[in-house]
Amino acid sequence: MLTRKQELDLTGIRWHWQTAYTVGLDDGVWTAGDFHLAPSEVLTADTADELRTLIRADYFKRTGTRPAPLLQDRMST
């Protein structure tokens, strides 16, 4: 069973990235994969924040397009 924070994090990541990645959380392991372009490559992380970082880096690597800054990145200036 997911905690409320995990549910919110999972919903948030899916909302932002659902067109590019399939995101999941199973037994405490966060996963994201692009099963259309690279079905054998799955990103894994221990936390939602780590997964967000991995997704952003992977997205930039694949597309050459840097995603918009995260909210905390915009707030820190």
pLDDT at 2 over 80: yes
Amino acid, single-letter form, for residue 18 = Q
pLDDT band at 76 (very low <50, low <70, confident <90, very high): very low
Helix axes 4-17, 48-63, angle to 10 degrees: 10
Cα separation, 66 vs 1, in Å, equals: 34
Q: Coil, helix or strand for 45?
A: strand
Q: Residue 71's pLDDT is what? A: 53
Q: 19-65: per-residue pLDDT in tens?
A: 899 999 999 999 999 867 777 789 999 999 999 999 999 988 888 87
Question: Which pLDDT score, from 0 to 100, does residue 63 have?
Answer: 82
